[in-house]
Amino acid sequence: MVKPWKFLLCQMAMNMFYHVVKASLCLGGHDIFAAVRENSPTGQFIANLNIKGDPGANSIRLCLTGENSNWFFLDGQTIRLNSSSTRPLDRESQGSVIMAALSCYEEDTVQSQYRIMVEILNENDNMPVFMEETIQPIYISELALVNTVVFTVKAKDLDGDTITYVIDQASPDASYFRIDLPNSGKVVLDKPLDYESKNQLEVDIYAVEMNTREKNNVTAMLTVNVLDGDDQYPFFLPCAPISKDQVHSICTNPVYTSNITEDEEDVILNFAPGPIHAEDGDKELQEPLFYTILSGDDHGRFIIDNQTGEIMLTMRVENRLLSPLYRLRIMAAQKNDPRKFTVATALVHVQAENRFPPHFNRTTYKGFVIENSSPATLVATYGNQVLLVQAIDQDFKDGVNPRLVYSLQPNTKLYHITPEGVLVAKTDHLQAFDRHIMEVVAMDQESGEITHATVDVEVLQKGQPVPRSQFGEERLFGEMDAKIAGGIAGVIVIIVLAALFVLVQLLRRRHDRQDPVDRGSVALGKHPNVEVTSPPPTRRRS
């Protein structure tokens, strides 16, 4: 820094005139070129003047002038540093040179003038400082390429020291970055970013003096915000996550299902487990998608709204037995990049028309069963008729929906209900005077519709008559009527047939080895029961 050299007189600047007096006491001095360390203490020696006279004793007077003159004071002929604890000599704020002029007066006349130039020697009294604008929060796309420079930091050191930049490996996300050229401050991406798993990173960077003994350093904490890039594919909702990793929506696409009937046409289909809908996996971007049917539209029978994903049935299904199921492949793709797509299956079941739900024609069915030891007995109702617990479905001409399934609740081991709605009691587990109240549930396996009724079964004592009607009229029935007996035979035979069959086989084998006459009787087509029950035949009752 070259500042104009101001020859200001400390006093009497107006009448400055110059006349040399020979053998002046002011002579003998010289211009002063010296150096002093910055931060030197008050009174630090700078130079001696060496003029002939003695400023204390003779009539000469010395006067410091010039811009930096207050950095000096005179101690006889010695120039010393005028610093203080509140005003240390600082090269960084003062500049590298301080200058002044020293005038020597003799009887108020300037006799000589000397220049003072003092270089301030640098000390490492400044730390590096990051430039604020280089350590602001940074925004980087998750698609930023590895091994490219993603940002640059810069620090300054007032002492002019050379600075190197070092990533603090202990900082949370240090592993994402590296610095290849330590003096450049250029930070390179070391591994791929992923917005979906981490959208903000923190890394501490040191700026360290390289060329000093102290190797002072400062650190800056940098926040790196990761921006969402288009790196995820769309997926259909609802998402069934296939991994426990909550970060990425790794889903299996749902299989959408819908039910239609032969009657329907020009309707928008309702799908389960939700409407057909896909979303971009890049949560921030949410690129618009479009939908198409890849296959299974059956020549335009099904069309999809390419914006909403709604599927419409345009032509009715003529025969549900020929085409009970349509399987559609639905694609959702990004409008801006159709290579980013996903495919799901939609199943359309063609069902029988279902206008009426099944229903029971009474809320409570009354049943009776007479105590006995046989394993199975049909439950009767008033008048000793077989109790039929049947739901009626008016969608069917005869009221019988073949896909109705009956069940008892609570699930009991004492009773069983046949697909026809006939109640069978495990009589050997029942006791007279027991009363069982159960619920019969009928479910339409096609429509899922359900209806309920209550069954109230009383266990009667042996010989006790089954009431003829609800109103207490009684009729003695020693045995059930022929119709019931037939039904019983059917059920019982099913239950014990296997056992009987085995027995018959055993007996037949024995007969083979025994009596040819008996064998003949079998050959003649006699019912195997005859053999089983003889001798003496016992009458079975239910």
Q: How far is the CB of 448 from ligand NAG (least distance, A)?
A: 4
Q: Which of 68, 259, 334, 427 binds ligand NAG (CB under 6 A)?
A: 259
Cα 292 from chain centre? 28
Q: How far is the CB of 163 from ligand NAG (least distance, A)?
A: 11
Q: Which of 16, 388, 405, 497 binds ligand NAG (CB under 6 A)?
A: 388
Q: How far is the CB of 169 from ligand NAG (least distance, A)?
A: 10
How far is 269 from 331, CA to CA, in rounded Å? Answer: 17
| Element holding 490 (H helix, E strand) | helix 482-513
Q: Does 236 bind ligand NAG (CB under 6 A)?
A: no
In terms of CB distance, is 169 or 534 closer to ligand NAG?
169
Q: Which of 4, 56, 448, 535 binds ligand NAG (CB under 6 A)?
A: 448
Residue 97 structure tokens: 């040179």
How far is 349 from 351, CA to CA, in rounded Å? Answer: 6
Q: Which of 77, 134, 141, 306 binds ligand NAG (CB under 6 A)?
A: 306
Residue 16 structure tokens: 């400055």
Q: Which of 119, 123, 446, 518 binds ligand NAG (CB under 6 A)?
A: 446
Q: Which of 270, 374, 454, 529 binds ligand NAG (CB under 6 A)?
A: 270
Residue 331 structure tokens: 């694609």
What is the footprint of ligand NAG within residues 202-231 (CB under 6 A)?
A: 206, 208, 215, 217
Q: Does 73 bind ligand NAG (CB under 6 A)?
A: yes
In terms of CB distance, is 390 or 401 closer to ligand NAG?
390
Total length of the chain = 542
Q: How far is the CB of 64 from ligand NAG (least distance, A)?
A: 7
How far is 96 from 35, CA to CA, in rounded Å? Answer: 10
CA atoms within 13 A on the CB side of 263: 4
In terms of CB distance, is 206 or 236 closer to ligand NAG?
206
In terms of CB distance, is 120 or 193 closer to ligand NAG?
120
Q: Peptide bond preceding 535: is omega within 30 degrees of 0, i.e. cis?
A: yes
Q: Which of 200, 252, 295, 361 binds ligand NAG (CB under 6 A)?
A: 361
Q: Which of 105, 235, 290, 415 binds ligand NAG (CB under 6 A)?
A: 290
What ranges make up the beta strands (E) of 182-320? 186-189, 200-209, 217-227, 235-237, 240-241, 251-252, 255-261, 267-268, 277-279, 289-295, 302-304, 311-313
In terms of CB distance, is 70 or 96 closer to ligand NAG?
70
Is residue 177 within 8 Å of 203, Cβ to Cβ? yes
Q: Say whether 71 sits in a helix, a strand or coil.
A: helix
In terms of CB distance, is 241 or 324 closer to ligand NAG?
324
Total residues in contact with ligand NAG, by rule CB under 6 A = 23
Is residue 260 within 8 Å of 351, Cβ to Cβ? yes
Q: Is 433 left (phi over 0), alpha (psi -120 to 50) or beta?
A: left
In terms of CB distance, is 215 or 526 closer to ligand NAG?
215
Looking at this protein, which amino acid is placed at residue 234? P
How far is 390 from 387, CA to CA, in rounded Å? Answer: 9
Residue 529 structure tokens: 């029961």
Q: Does 264 bind ligand NAG (CB under 6 A)?
A: no
Q: Which of 6, 30, 87, 429 binds ligand NAG (CB under 6 A)?
A: 87
Please list, in sequence order, all residues whose beta carbon lies within 8 angstroms of the beta carbon of residue 338, skipping any fewer than 6 positions away: none
What is the footprint of ligand NAG within residues 116-175 (CB under 6 A)?
A: 166
Q: Which of 126, 249, 258, 542 binds ligand NAG (CB under 6 A)?
A: 258
Q: Which of 35, 221, 272, 497 binds ligand NAG (CB under 6 A)?
A: 272
Is residue 63 within 8 Å of 10, Cβ to Cβ? yes
How far is 206 from 81, CA to CA, in rounded Å? Answer: 37
Q: Kindly list the residues in this chain that would bind ligand NAG in the complex (CB under 6 A).
A: 70, 73, 82, 87, 166, 206, 208, 215, 217, 257-259, 270, 272, 290, 306, 361, 388, 390, 392, 446-448
